Amino acid sequence: MTIKTILFVAIDRGSAAAGLDWARELARQQAAHLAMALVGETAEPSISERLENAAPAAAVLRHTTLDEAWIAQQARHADLVVMALPQTRSADSGDEIKLIEALARNVGCPVVTLPPRIVPDRIARRVAIAWDASPPAQRAVRAALPLLAKADVVAIVTIDPEHPIDLAAQLQHFLDRHGITATAHPIIGRDAECGALLEEAIDQLDADLLVMGARGRPSAAEWLLGKTTCHLLGRVGIPIMVSA
């Protein structure tokens, strides 16, 4: 699998420029085409022109409102969506997380969410995989293979009450057959602690990208993403690649 088209979705004036720098560098790393979907205030002439000048080779699409259906339509022909979370809103407040869910579920496209403030000086060089062997986690790893292949460090973080090391072994073999060397980072813990334990692991590993599957009951509070994913989207300062 290769990544040939990346769609950068800009929905916030404050995070748009830094997010574009990150997406543009990832596109360069993957030799991929970059497209931009400018939404709301980022579609206004002043910020729109600045973003176009920053990525002159990118295709530019504009929409006046945060419209899930319109963004999903643009994402149908992308291999990866990159979305910068707004600087001025809580990351677990409604619209943005529902948009991430819509893209992952309805389009089947993996989504990288960028934290509100990001410095694009290290792009997916130290990658942590949150691994529970679930179908969403499996899909996330397969989608991330082009990124994992270019990473300097790949760590498999497993959380289990008794035998966390056992979860990582088969994934290590799978990645090894793709030419990717991964180390196991087992943690003894329970599901209820996953968010905090993953935060701690990301810090210890000095990771600059987290790959994880989105799982959970699609309720009004959790949607498809699950409590752990929503918790991390609002707290960790690194990009998170989510697949449903």
More confident residue, 9 or 103: 9
Q: Round to whole Å and give the CA distance between 201 and 184.
A: 12
Express each pLDDT in 20-49 by its tens digit.
889 999 999 999 999 999 888 888 887 788
pLDDT winner (highest mean) among 90-104, 140-154, 199-213? 140-154
Q: What is the pLDDT of residue 53?
A: 82
Determine whether 187 is exposed, middle or buried from the number of CB atoms within 10 Å of its CB (0-12, 13-18, 19+): middle
pTM of the model: 0.86
Q: What is the pLDDT of residue 221?
A: 36
Please, which pLDDT band fits residue 88 given cuts at 50, 70 and 90? low
Express each pLDDT in 159-209 by its tens digit.
887 776 778 999 999 999 999 999 999 888 876 677 788 888 989 999 999
Indicate if the pLDDT at residue 89 is higher than 70: no
Q: Round to whole Å and give the CA distance between 8 and 112.
A: 9
Q: Round to whole Å and give the CA distance between 86 and 73.
A: 22
Report, as an integer, the average pLDDT of 3-13.
Answer: 90
